[in-house]
């Protein structure tokens, strides 16, 4: 371990890339405290107290920039949504599929479409968010509200939406700079940095609940038990993230035993199914919060009982959506037919399995079995925050700060492992000055 750290610290290139990444993160944190001009921050505070968890998800991914309604309030979430949409559209739009198979040129075309789509989506999200908050009261600063003419109100709304769109464009550009000149994937780094900023609030809430306001005795035991449970879940997430099923392959033109294999991750869908499920369930609840409808009776109560995953029906629907999206996204990202064709073109085969259709069926069956395990793991991890909040009796405010499991931990672990592997790879590379020097 110490040898790895010494190798990293002694590599000037890696240290410069690390310093550049930290500088970009500092810029993001400073920008996340710049409030959108003309906006009354109290309006977003009212919405976050009354709306569903969709706003909480966006706030978490943006590093609490949304609750301050800063220029980076939307963060890089529109870009992620656009990326997933473009990836799925490759199944139904022939030109997108052709571009995905054209190498670097096609990749650049898809990236260009993703960026344009993310900018449009950012403006739509920002404008819809401002309009939704204006239903429950004014969103303009009091001094402007007193003098604003009603017919020019939407001009201010469009202006604020454009500022937030510019903030998303800035976040996308900064993420690209991290990817090119820093360490790790810039998009993942920005999301992880935003999530990490919420961890101090979790430990502060736990300390206040069980130590400051506790009566001693069992409260201390509960505090220690929750800490042990959190680190136990963390170890489990790390283990499941690196768990892979290796498919051995043999090349026909090579003699002897081959160590080549195709790695298939147990959780190939990653965190995407949980995010999809939470987003779909939370949008109707957010609309209720915007409109000010009563969530305990009438249409509001009916929608709340169906889409709130803390209710029995919503909980079942939440689990079903995770299962469906997990299988869908796993088979979307891993194509057994394409893998079989690539093996045939490479003059390779799976020992004991005939090339062609039998290889495709073998990989498809294996992927199905692996996805079952990965789906069960995702469901358990997704419902852990719900179950722990019930078992330990957390209030709504405490439950929003204390998350034992969930998507946040999965994202942090995944990005940390991938970034660490990249840093070690870069640090182990030897620079050769040339044969004549």
**What domains does the chain contain, in order, with CATH numbers?**
1-196 (1.10.3370.10), 198-268+334-431 (1.10.3370.10)
Strand blocks (E) in 293-358: 348-349
> How far apart are alpha carbons 202 and 206 in whole angstroms?
6
Query: Which CA distances in Å does 51 have to 56, 133, 217?
Result: 9, 10, 37
Assign 103 to helix, strand or coil: coil
> How far apart are alpha carbons 331 and 74 in whole angstroms?
30
pTM of the model: 0.81
> How far apart are alpha carbons 261 and 246 in whole angstroms?
6
Query: Which CA distances in Å does 366 have to 250, 266, 338?
Result: 18, 11, 15
Query: Which CA distances in Å does 42 have to 39, 47, 86, 138, 140?
Result: 9, 9, 36, 10, 10
Each of the 437 residues of the chain gets a pLDDT tens digit; together they read: 677 777 777 778 888 988 999 999 999 999 988 999 888 888 777 777 665 555 666 677 777 788 888 998 888 888 888 888 888 888 788 888 888 878 788 888 889 999 999 999 999 988 888 887 777 777 777 777 666 666 677 888 899 999 999 999 999 999 999 999 988 888 888 888 888 887 887 888 888 888 888 777 788 888 899 889 988 988 998 898 888 888 888 887 776 566 788 888 888 888 888 888 877 887 777 777 666 666 566 777 788 788 877 788 888 898 999 999 899 888 888 889 888 998 888 888 888 888 889 999 999 999 999 999 999 999 998 888 888 888 888 876 777 777 777 778 888 888 888 888 888 877 776 544 455 44
Query: Which CA distances in Å does 219 have to 139, 190, 214, 391, 392?
Result: 42, 36, 6, 14, 11
């Amino acid at each position: 371990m110490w040898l790895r750290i010494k190798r990293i610290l002694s590599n000037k290139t890696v240290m410069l890339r690390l310093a550049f990444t930290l500088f970009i993160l500092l810029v993001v944190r400073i920008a996340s405290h710049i409030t959108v001009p003309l906006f009354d921050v109290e309006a977003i505070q009212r919405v976050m107290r009354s709306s569903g968890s969709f706003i909480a998800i966006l706030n978490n991914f943006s590093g609490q920039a949304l609750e301050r309604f800063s220029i980076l309030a939307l963060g890089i979430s529109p870009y992620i949504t656009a990326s997933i949409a473009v990836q799925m559209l490759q199944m139904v739009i022939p030109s997108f599929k052709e571009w995905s198979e054209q190498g670097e040129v096609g990749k650049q075309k898809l990236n260009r479409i993703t960026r344009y789509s993310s900018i449009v989506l950012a403006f739509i999200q920002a404008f819809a968010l401002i309009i939704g908050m204006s239903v429950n009261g004014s969103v303009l600063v009091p001094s402007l509200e007193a003098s604003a003419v009603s017919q020019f109100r939407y001009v201010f709304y469009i202006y604020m939406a454009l500022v937030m769109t510019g903030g998303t464009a800035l976040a996308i550009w900064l993420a690209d700079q991290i990817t090119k000149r820093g360490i790790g994937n810039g998009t993942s780094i920005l999301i992880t940095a935003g999530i990490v900023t919420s961890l101090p609030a979790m430990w502060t809430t736990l300390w206040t609940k069980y130590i400051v306001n506790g009566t001693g005795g069992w409260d201390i035991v509960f505090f220690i038990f929750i800490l042990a449970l959190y680190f136990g879940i963390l170890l489990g997430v790390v283990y499941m993230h690196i768990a892979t099923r290796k498919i051995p392959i043999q090349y026909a033109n090579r003699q002897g035993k081959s160590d080549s294999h195709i790695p298939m991750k147990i959780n190939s869908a990653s965190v995407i199914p949980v995010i999809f499920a939470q987003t779909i369930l939370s949008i109707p609840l957010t609309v209720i919060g915007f409109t000010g409808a009563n969530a305990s009776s009438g249409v509001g109560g009916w929608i709340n009982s169906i889409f709130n995953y803390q209710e029995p029906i919503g909980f079942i629907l939440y689990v079903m959506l995770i299962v469906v999206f997990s299988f869908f996204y796993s088979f979307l990202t891993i194509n057994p037919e394409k893998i079989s064709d690539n093996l045939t073109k490479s003059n390779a085969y799976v020992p004991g399995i005939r090339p062609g259709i039998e290889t495709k069926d073998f990989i498809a069956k294996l992927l199905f079995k692996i996805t079952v395990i990965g789906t069960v793991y995702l469901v358990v991890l997704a419902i852990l925050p719900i179950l722990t909040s019930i078992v330990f009796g957390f209030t709504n405010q405490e439950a929003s700060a204390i998350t034992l499991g969930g998507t946040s931990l999965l994202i942090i672990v995944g990005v940390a492992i991938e970034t660490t592997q990249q840093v070690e790879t870069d640090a182990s590379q030897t620079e050769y000055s040339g044969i004549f020097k």
